[in-house]
Amino acid sequence: MSRRVVRQSKFRHVFGQAAKADQAYEDIRVSKVTWDSSFCAVNPKFLAIIVEAGGGGAFIVLPLAKTGRVDKNHPLVTGHTAPVLDIDWCPHNDNVIASASDDTTIMVWQIPDYTPMRNITEPIITLEGHSKRVGILSWHPTARNVLLSAGGDNVIIIWNVGTGEVLLSLDDMHPDIIHSVCWNSNGSLLATTCKDKTLRIIDPRKGQVVANNFEEPVALQEMDTSNGVLLPFYDPDSSIVYLCGKGDSSIRYFEITDEPPFVHYLNTFSSKEPQRGMGFMPKRGLDVSKCEIARFFKLHERKCEPIIMTVPRKSDLFQDDLYPDTPGPEPALEADEWLSGQDAEPVLISLRDGYVPPKHRELRVTKRNILDARPPSGPRRSQSASDAPLSQHTLETLLAEIKGLREQVQAQEQRITALENMLCELVDGTD
């Protein structure tokens, strides 16, 4: 008599549960744009959702604690002249978010800790380089201020947001529309999928496709007959992949292991309403006291509903096996270091005592002056009066004026910082 052996796994009994009605975000006009992005981005501080907006594109940013009905006059983040197609929070600064649009631009925004009184219309920086709409954004996992964008022009551009410069442009690697792009854990390689049904592994700094000949899959899993786009979310800490179908009403999740058959079906979370998009909380934003291993933010037509994935445990103590050290908000490299060829693993943090988001950190953009470039060498045709050398008195006067202006700017920056801190304290006191 044969006896079935049950595979041992601590995630075999993971179950999903929708949050209570008062924990949802109601009255949000979720975007109806026909695009395959998730329409939602979340971090330990904020929830951002692409919404319907007249006369351009917009998205709404809500503090995580601001649940319930959203005021119809709640300020939006506006600035694009066409619909917003993708948004992504910076992994190294919880107050910075990037947005990509049908208007071919990428905008990077600084979100204050307090709720602004009117729409946010001025981005920190606008990145222009694509010739068609931009539909994919992805921040580098370990290098500061490095952002990837992919557009309808079949081009991938990697930016230094701190200076507004293009670090790398990958032009001739995709013959058709790019469907998705993903970094590996240390940001040394990219994986892309394309309309030509080819998966490519790319070394962006060498500008080479290092692998694209995948003949046989390691595992093949039949899903269903639905033609909706699958939104995959992978948690490397637990080796669980969650598959959310757009227009579907379920979340299927599988555990990935090193031994055959490699992919193990765990369970399916089902609900009545189909999902129009999905947000996935980073591990540092979860409630470790409740053994929560994932939290989704499911978009309905006019609301956003949190869905919590939990491992049932009897003990209230911290579960070391569920929560290994996870990537924190500190970058491991600067943009120039990464571009020069350096790689570094993410800086890890422990969740044993919970995670407290750091205070508001401002992203400073330093644009390099094109006038600083050296003039072309060679004989000059004419000598104007303005080319004459400056007198010592004039030079000293100019230097003194520059010094005074610098001191004035520094004093104003200190005053602005002090006022922002006072405003944050007032907001915290009224919460």
Q: What is the residue-averaged pLDDT of the chain? A: 88
Specify the pLDDT at position 398: 83
Q: Give per-residue pLDDT as tens, 36-67.
A: 889 999 999 999 999 998 878 999 999 999 99
Identify residue 218 by its one-letter amino acid code: V
3-class DSSP state for residue 278? strand
Task: Of 84, 66, 56, 78, give the one whose Cα is nearest residue 27.
Answer: 66
Per-residue pLDDT tens over the stretch 159-197: 999 999 999 999 989 999 999 999 999 999 999 999 998
What's the rounded Cα separation, in Å, for the pair 190 and 345? 15
| DSSP helix/strand/coil, 283 | helix
Lowest mean pLDDT among 32-46, 189-203, 210-224: 210-224
Closest Cα to residue 160, out of 312, 20, 334, 369? 334
Residue 281 to residue 288: CA distance in whole angstroms: 13
Average pLDDT of 97-124?
94
State the pLDDT at residue 296: 98
Q: What percent of the chain has pLDDT over 70?
A: 91
How sure is the predictor about 123, in pLDDT bands with cuts at 50, 70 and 90? very high
List C-alpha distances in Å: 123 to 108, 120, 154, 400, 424: 6, 8, 25, 33, 21
Return the pLDDT at 5.
Answer: 59
Q: What is the pLDDT of residue 158?
A: 97
Tokens 């300020």 label which residue? 75
- Residue (of 161, 166, 217, 170) closest to 189 by Cα position: 170
- Residue 419 scores a pLDDT above 60: yes
3 state DSSP class of 430: helix
139: which 2 tokens? 């921040």
Confidence band of 385 (pLDDT split at 50, 70, 90): very low
Q: Is the pLDDT of residue 408 over 90?
A: no
pTM metric for this prediction: 0.83
Over residues 300-309, the mean pLDDT reads 95
